[in-house]
């Protein structure tokens, strides 16, 4: 059975299982690359021919591949693929071959002994207030597209929404004080909106949003009036980074998400509520990923207002002790 045909079957099955469109696109790009390299470098074209040694060769090829080399929409960068990207490839490979076994296309899974990449331990730098103001200043809010970009940045910052969630936001899911979002795993959740952001979002929808189709359901549109896709939002962020001149911090949806989480906690928000707004399945994910740069120096700022000492009448205790000593 040809590997490329099995990949197509896998992608079709993903569609019938309502796997998100973003995940399917990623699977297609990565598995197409794997199938091509297996044929070119390992002379493997049949599913049954794949062995773990072949998959290890694919990982080695990935480690020698430059960033965006396989992305037709972006220029190749003079640096290797990040360990996180390679880890995602390995995850996709393991998902695919586990599916092959489940579908009884293979008796054994050749990816079982394929080791996962060790991830470097580092803290993602978040935006400062000055960074945010510099980015917002690049948007000409006197124009429809400039106002749209301004609102996109503020919605990212105010909600911590993922890239796919922003591009997939529908008009019917925008309310006065919250938005309804369908996130990973097609799970629905509600995220609050700051009153100022809610007002600006309403203004964009009713004044600047000009859909080519009057029945268009998506909130953010491109200059042609069609839905603004993920690639279009990435282009906005790239343009904002270039115009703002920011250095040393990545301008991405993920950085906005981390920034939202950090500011939320710094301003006294509860980690349990944050976890729900971010769409995590449990609070441990929030704690592990988004509290990594929440330092003890920041955590102690409101110590006095949260300490249990605030519940104790220390003056009364000291007075009672002195009275007892005089007896």
**Does the pLDDT at position 300 exceed 80?**
no
Distance CA 59, CA 140 (A): 45
What are the structural domains of the chain?
3-102 (no CATH), 129-299 (1.10.443.10)
Q: Which of 27, 26, 37 is nearest to 6 (CA)?
A: 27
pLDDT of res. 91: 94
Q: Is the pLDDT of residue 323 over 50?
A: no
The confidence score (pLDDT) of residue 80 equals: 84
Instruction: Check whether 318 has a pLDDT greater than 60.
Output: no
Q: Can you tell me the mean pLDDT for 14-41? A: 90
Q: Are 99 and 109 in contact (CB under 8 A)?
A: no
Q: What are the phi and psi torsion angles at 190 (to 5°)?
A: -110, 140
Q: Report d(CA 190, CA 35) in Å as an integer.
A: 40
Res. 97: pLDDT tops 90: yes
Q: What per-residue confidence (pLDDT) applies to 296?
A: 45
pLDDT at 294: 54
Please list the alpha-helical segments (H only) found in 80-162. Answer: 83-102, 129-136, 144-159
The answer to whether 259 touches 127, Cβ cutoff 8 Å, is yes
The share of the chain scoring above pLDDT 90, in percent, equals: 52
User: Residue 124: CB partners within 8 Å, gap ≥ 6?
Assistant: 250, 254, 255, 258, 292, 293
Minimal CA–CA distance to 253: which of 267, 243, 238, 265?
238
**Residue 218's pLDDT band (cuts 50, 70, 90):** very high
pLDDT in tens, 255-278: 998 888 888 877 776 666 777 776
Q: How far apart are CA 26 and CA 28, in angstroms?
A: 5
* pLDDT, the chain, mean: 83
Cα→Cα distances 203→87, 141, 206, Å: 41, 12, 5
CB-CB contact of 65 with 77 (8 Å): no
Look at residue 222 in the predicted model and tell me its pLDDT: 95
3-class SS of residue 112: coil
| pLDDT surpassing 70 at residue 206 | yes
From 20-29, 169-178, 262-271, the region with the lowest mean pLDDT: 262-271
pLDDT at 312: 55
Residue 57: pLDDT band with limits 50, 70, 90: very high
The DSSP secondary-structure symbol of 68 reads T
Structure tokens at 98: 């586990």
- 309 has a pLDDT exceeding 60: no
Question: Whole-prediction pTM value?
Answer: 0.64
| 94 within 8 A of 30, measured Cβ to Cβ | no
Using the predicted structure, report yes or no on whether residue 246 has a pLDDT greater than 50: yes
Q: Range with the lowest mean pLDDT among 29-33, 123-127, 183-187, 288-292?
A: 288-292
Q: Which residue has the tokens 């124009």?
A: 143
């Amino acid at each position: 059975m040809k590997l490329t045909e099995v990949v197509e079957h896998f992608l079709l099955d993903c569609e019938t299982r309502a796997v998100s469109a973003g995940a399917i696109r990623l699977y297609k790009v990565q598995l197409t690359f794997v199938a091509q390299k297996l044929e070119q470098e390992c002379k493997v074209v049949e599913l049954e021919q794949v062995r773990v040694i072949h998959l290890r060769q694919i990982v080695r090829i990935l480690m020698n591949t430059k960033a965006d080399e396989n992305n037709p929409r972006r220029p190749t960068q003079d640096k290797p693929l990040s360990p996180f990207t390679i880890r995602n490839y390995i995850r996709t490979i393991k998902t695919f071959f586990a599916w092959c076994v489940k579908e009884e296309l293979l008796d054994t899974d050749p990816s079982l002994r394929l080791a996962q990449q060790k991830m470097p331990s580092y803290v993602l730098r978040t935006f400062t207030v000055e960074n945010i103001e510099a980015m917002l200043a690049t948007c000409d809010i006197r124009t429809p597209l400039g106002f749209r970009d301004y609102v996109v940045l503020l919605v990212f910052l105010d909600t911590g929404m993922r890239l796919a969630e922003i591009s997939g936001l529908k008009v019917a899911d925008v309310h006065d004080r919250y938005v309804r979002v369908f996130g990973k795993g097609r799970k629905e959740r509600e995220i609050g909106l700051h009153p100022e952001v809610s007002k600006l979002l309403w203004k964009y929808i009713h004044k600047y949003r000009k859909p080519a189709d009057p029945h268009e359901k998506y909130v953010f549109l491109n200059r042609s009036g069609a839905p603004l896709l993920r690639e279009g939002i990435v282009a906005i962020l790239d343009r904002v980074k270039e115009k703002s001149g920011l250095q040393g911090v990545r301008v991405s949806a993920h950085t906005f998400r981390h920034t939202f989480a950090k500011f939320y906690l710094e301003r006294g928000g509860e980690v349990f509520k944050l976890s729900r707004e971010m769409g995590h399945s449990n609070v441990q994910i929030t704690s592990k990923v988004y509290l990594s740069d929440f330092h003890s120096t920041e955590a102690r700022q409101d110590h006095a207002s949260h300490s249990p000492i605030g519940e104790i009448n220390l003056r009364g205790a000291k007075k009672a002790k002195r009275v007892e000593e005089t007896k």
